[in-house]
Structure 1
Amino acid sequence: MTAWAPPRYAHRVQPHRGGVEEARVAIVGGGLVGLTAALDLARRGVASVLLDEDDTVSAGSRAICFSQRTLEIMGRLGIGPRFLKKGITWNRGRVFFRDREAYSFDLLPESGHEYPAFVNLQQYYAEQWLVEECEVSGLVDLRWRSRVAGVAPREDGAVLEVETPSGPYRLHAEWVLACDGVRSQVRRALDLPFTGQVFDDRFLIADVRMRADFPTERWFWFDPPFHPGQSVLLHKQPDDIWRIDFQLGRDADGEAEREPERVRARVAAMLGKAVPFDLEWVSVYTFRCRRLERFRHGRVLFLGDAAHQVSPFGARGGNGGVQDADNLGWKLAMVLRGEAPERLLDSFDAERVPAADENILHSSRATDFITPKGAACRAYRDAVLELAHDLPLARPFVNSGRLSRPAVLRGSPLNGPDEAPRAAPPGTACPDAPIRRDGQPDWLLRQFGGGFTLLAREAHPVRMEGLRVVELRDSPRPGALHDHSGLAAARLGLAPGECALLRPDQHIAARFATTAPDPILAALRKAVMA
């Protein structure tokens, strides 16, 4: 087995010295979220400068569970098939209590989706592919070994003080996207505090290289014999890498627990002494469930861990950050093109702050269940786990991390009317379904993502300026989408003659009982705050 070798990206000396360089968009942080934002903008024709203080992608597996919605976003950006080819697909999980299985679950019991519930993939692969696509786009100026040491906000953007091996310089950007993670320098420079909670318990992450016969599933143990009184999580990754999370307890010494021999002893107790393995990467972390009060601060917008932090159980960190970028990209592009007013960017706060709160709520509840505080809480948890083995009604109370789902933007100021309230209300990410286009198999979501689209079932709407119209038909028709399985209409809840207005991020903006143009155009104007 050949270990993955991290790519190294060259630092390029910037030609502008002595003055202030200009850019329309600067992205601080070249991790998963920053690269996704850069590629999303590039796909919409917007150039950006991306600054990262390192010269490679992330170390260790980090965010490994890519949810269906994130995979759909990566599909829109053109790299979704790579996740399917390289990653480990899984839909099933198992929960164990002490020495027996409590129950199992299936996250995607129905067929007819291009992407599964989850794909496990080391974060560094995703980042490497994003870098490659950013380079090919010709619209992302990737500047490695470029540390942002200062930020001076202005009404027309912000001036960034950038330190590099070839000397410092200043960059004025009309818009700054802070994607620089938990220790965000931009957040510190603006002196913005987090609100929320830091939990006492510590956890050990170990990336282990081994050949093992565990199935491709998520396994979670409460109080197992090999790690009594604590919890353990196991995930399979590509390249014979397995991610193991060990709960350590609140009094653990983080430095001591990172020592290879101590880690090896924990892994050996779990696998048995006869199973050979190698350690690839080790880290110790604490649960954090907190966020900024607001994500937009004038011309500076915060995304991902720079804006909000959640515990890793539930796969809500990386997925939430990618969905931040998905939410912001089309709005910023429209503002820069003069197609929408600047106030459209206020909806980033209005939509992604509640989404972060939802993730924080689920993560906090999972943390309280996984690490009960006090004897009464532990007794409740253990009773639920005992009952779950035989009583299905107890299983919803088991919380080993509510797994990531896209937020429904119910209270969004961009939502229009819902005249056909059967399924997928405004604010919902459009569900996928198999379709045929001109006789060829295809997927519904592949038809959306550029601009605003009106999807009409068994109707031929009049053409409207600024709006692409797509017909969904029950039988084949040239130029229309053939809903041969009926799943598209069923999942969207569209009856014949009804239609749905879709945003550039594939979310439903409004639903109509007819294709009359006036209310549709009114909803379109509302969706861009025109």
Structure 2
Amino acid sequence: MHQPTTEARPSIYYNYQVFKPWLPSAHPAQDRKKVVIAGSGPAGMVAALELARLGVPSVVVTAELQVSQGSRAIVFTRRSMEILQQVGVDARMTENGLPWLFGNSYYRGKRVFRMESARDADDRFFPMINIQQQYMEEYLIDACAANPLIDFRWGNKLVKVEQADKLAYVTIDTPEGPYTLETEWVVAADGGRSSIRTAMDLQMEGASYEGFFVIADIRVDLPLPTERLAFFDPEWNPGNTILMHREPHGIWRVDYQLPPGETPEEALKPESLKKRIDAQLAMIGHAGIAWEMDWNSVYSARTLTLPDYVHGRVIFTGDAAHLLPIFGVRGANTAFQDAQSLAWHLAFVIKGLASEKLLANHSAERVGAAREIIDEAGKSTRFMAPPSRGFRLLRDAVLSLSLTEEFVRPLYHWRTSRPHEYTHSALNSAGDDNALFKSGPAHGAPPQNIRLAANDFLLDHLGGGFDLLYFTDAAAMPDALQKVVADTRARGVPLRVIAVGAAQPVAGADLTLADADGHFRQRYGVLASGAAYLMRPDQHVCARWLTLDATRLQAALNIALPQ
């Protein structure tokens, strides 16, 4: 029998709640499930919430009785916040997190590069916000608990998956013994050490790097702003790299690279941790300052992905699907995008609105995204932790030249996580006007947010289905377009129409946005009435037209929902 610990995890700043296990004896009747999600991390819970928003129930099983230990993921990007807005936890993240714009790189006591992330008046969220993963998980758990379509089962460990025709049977162990669920789909969101992936003998492709980093969360009072700090080749840790981030509640994250040959066990000895953290604090001018340890761990950089995320009735997501280095804040931020994509693709298949070809598209798009991240993050990893003598020589040359030569300093850029653009997606319309636009989000791109009023933005009105942005100053949409919209909705496809540009409500639209100064149209590259954008349920653009008619809209919807 699975016996998860009932002792709250230790922390000097976070109060861990231990939940009661879900026991099968209290729920003897187990009907067939639509989706069973293994894992209650960022990917699993966002997938459950997005599925629920599209009307699909799920069961979330997690082996533990409490949220994860330690701060883990602490930096969340603007796009992640936009996704978290869709599932209703962005306000708590914003209220309790620390937003920031700047990243700094230091060599031999000199700041050699300062990066500023872009932000303009159309952005609701900062480019980055720091908050410990425990809080983010807590907010998602509360959202799941409030949703009647999500059956959350603490202390339930998925131990076996058997696939049959159009079904899977999952064996789940609990503190009072195992039980079996019959389900149409299994989402494997069980992390980097995925037992489901191991049991299915699936191999990842890519590379692992030998260098190890220590993560240490300490409570210390430092008079420094919330900015990323990176230190290269410091005197106390020659040839290696140190990163620092401010977290809420007086906590600082210190990541430092270990010298070759030192084992994780040696690195995590209290005397080793104290010596190195003292040295880092002294190097930044705070020798002898008092600090207290909260949590520490060791990680190594890996750039690995499964070549396919869909295996029969099992779909892999998050770290179960790929392992990415943290440089550039890749982990949880990529998991949110994975989960958002998976949820709408799977929901539309379950509801019969598209064939299972749609899941092949999800896999192709997200494997492509992982490989793009691996390419970019691999460059950052080779700079942070050179894997060979040749890479170290090149890195050290950049460090030395950066003291005097401006042109090499951009090589410090940490290639921040960004949303993947599905430029070559099979769901993009082949017969639209994408190539004729001079500006605006192109095929596969996420949306450009627009500030509509002081606290009202375009993305506040998108999501939960397809969105058609129709730019017009007319009193009504053409009858033929309205008929396509009505017929699409009659099939059960959620499709919302937002008219942009008219001073009065437009007949046939669910919402009208005036855009009196033309700012919206300018940002979207729209020059005349009749233009339009079609956005998927994950808000990525799948079609755009300089002039939209009913035939072209129907064709785009047919491509986006393959039968």
With structure 1 as the length reference, what TM-score do the two structures score? 0.95
- 2:498 counterpart (453, 470, 475): 470
Bigger shift: residues 110-119 or 63-72: 110-119
1:404 aligned residue:
417
Tell me which of 486, 511, 516 is aligned to 2:544.
511
User: In structure 2, which of residues 267, 271, 274 is the aligned counterpart of residue 257 of structure 1?
Assistant: 267
Q: Secondary structure at 1:137's aligned position in 2?
A: coil
Matched residue, 2:358: 344
Q: How does 1:16-95 map to 2 (within 5 A)?
A: 21-95=31-105
**Kindly, what percent of the aligned residue pairs are identical?**
35
Question: Where does structure 1 lack aligned partners over 5 or more consecutive residues?
Answer: none
Note the C-alpha offset of 1:140: 0.9
1:515 CA drift (Å): 2.2
**1:125 match: secondary structure:** helix
Q: What is the CA deviation profile of residues 221-258 of structure 1, one whole-angstrom value per residue up to 9, with x for unaligned ones?
A: 11123432210001111111111100103311101111
1:34, CA displacement in angstroms?
0.6
* Of 519-528 and 386-395, the range deviating more from structure 2: 386-395
1:432 alignment counterpart: 449
Deviations 1:74-123 (A, max 9, x none): 01111111111111101111111122110101112433200111111111
Question: How much has 1:333 moved relative to structure 2?
Answer: 1.5
Q: Does 1:457 align with 2:474?
A: no
Q: Distance in 2 between matches of 1:2 and 1:397?
A: 38
Shift of 1:21: 4.9
Structure 2: distance between partners of 1:427 and 1:278: 46
Deviation by residue 1:434-480 (Cα, 9 ceiling, x = unmatched): 014xxx74101111102111112235533222332211227676842
- Give the whole-Å Cα distance in 2 for the aligned partners of 1:82 and 1:482: 30
Deviations 1:487-522, CA, capped at 9 Å, x for gaps: 433332222221110111111111101121110111
Structure 2 equivalent of residue 520 of structure 1:
553
Q: CA deviation at 1:306?
A: 0.2
Deviations 1:138-158 (A, max 9, x none): 111111111111111222121
Q: Does 1:215 align with 2:262?
A: no
Report the Cα distance in structure 1 between the residues aligned to 2:516 and 2:278, rounded to whole angstroms.
52
- Alpha-carbon distance in 2 for matches of 1:18, 1:504: 36
Question: Conserved in 1, the CA contact under 8 Å of 2:210 and 2:387?
Answer: no
Tell me whether 369-378 or 73-82 shows the greater mean CA deviation. Answer: 369-378
| Structure 1 residues 152 and 95: alpha-carbon distance in aligned structure 2, compared to 1, 3 A threshold | same
Amino acid at match of 1:504: P
Q: How does 1:281-292 map to 2 (within 5 A)?
A: 281-292=295-306
Q: Which moved more, 1:83-92 or 1:37-46?
A: 37-46
410-419 or 136-145, larger mean C-alpha shift:
410-419
SS at match of 2:417: coil
Give SS of 2:24's match: coil
Residue 22 (structure 1) shift: 2.0
User: CA RMSD for the aligned pairs?
Assistant: 2.0
Q: Residue in 2 aligned with 1:490?
A: 522
Q: Quote the residue 1:384 is aligned against.
A: 398
1:122 matched residue in structure 2:
132
User: Structure 1 stretches (4+) deviating beyond 6 angstroms?
Assistant: 16-20
CA change 1:167–1:236 in 2 (3 A) is same
Contact 1:204–1:282, Cα closer than 8 Å, also in 2: yes
SS of structure 1 residue aligned to 2:258: strand
**Distance in structure 2 (CA, Å) of the matches to 1:397 and 1:156:** 50
Q: Report the CA distance between 1:18 and its aligned residue.
A: 8.8
Distance 2:340 2:518 in 1: 28
Contact 1:201 1:251 in 2 (8 A): no
Instruction: Specify whether residues 192 and 373 from structure 1 end up closer, same or farther in structure 2 by C-alpha distance, changes over 3 A only.
Output: closer
> 2:437 corresponds to which residue?
421
Moved more, 378-387 or 188-197: 378-387
Counterpart secondary structure, 1:480 = strand
Aligned partners of 1:142, 1:20: CA distance in 2, in Å?
14
Q: Please tell me whether residue 171 in structure 1 is matched to residue 181 in structure 2.
A: yes
The residue number in structure 2 matching 1:370 is 384
2:3 corresponds to:
none
2:491 — aligned with what?
none
Residues 41 and 330, structure 1, Cα contact 8 Å, conserved in 2: yes
Structure 1 residue corresponding to 2:512, chosen from 477, 480, 503: 480
**8 Å contact from structure 1 (residues 20, 169) kept in 2:** no
* Distance of aligned partners of 1:475 and 1:105 in 2 relative to their CA distance in 1, 3 Å threshold: farther
Q: Which amino acid aligns with 1:421?
A: F
Following the alignment from structure 1 to structure 2, what is the Cα–Cα distance between the partners of residues 21 and 140? 15
Say which SS state the counterpart of residue 510 (structure 1) adopts. strand
Bigger drift between 15-24 and 379-388 goes to 15-24
1:142-199 deviation per Cα after TM superposition (whole angstroms, max 9, x unaligned):
1111111111122212111111101111111101100000111111121111111111
* 1:24 counterpart SS class: strand
Amino acid across the alignment from 1:515? L
Contact 2:76-2:128 at 8 Å conserved across structures: yes
Output the CA distance in 2 between the equivalents of 1:389 and 1:406.
Answer: 33
Paired residue secondary structure (1:126): helix
Quick one: distance in 2 between partners of 1:149 and 1:511?
Answer: 46
The 1-side partners of 2:423 and 2:120 are apart by 25
Match of 2:312 among 275, 292, 298: 298
Once residues 515 and 289 of structure 2 are traced to their aligned partners in structure 1, the CA distance between those partners, rounded to angstroms, is 50
Q: Is 1:430–1:492's contact at 8 Å kept on the other side of the alignment?
A: no
The answer for unaligned runs of 5 or more in structure 2 is 1-10, 489-494
Q: Deviations over 1:295-318 (max 9, x none)?
A: 011211000000000111111111
Work out whether residues 419 and 511 of structure 1, in 8 Å CA contact, stay in contact via their aligned partners in 2: no
**Aligned partner letter, 1:426:** H
- Do the aligned residues in 2 keep the contact of 1:187 with 1:306 (CA within 8 Å)? yes
Once the two structures are TM-superposed, the CA of residue 485 in structure 1 deviates from its matched residue by: 6.2
CA distance in structure 1 between the aligned counterparts of 2:82 and 2:346, rounded to whole angstroms: 20
Equivalent residue runs for 1:130-145 within 5 Å:
130-145=140-155
Aligned AA for 1:330?
Answer: W
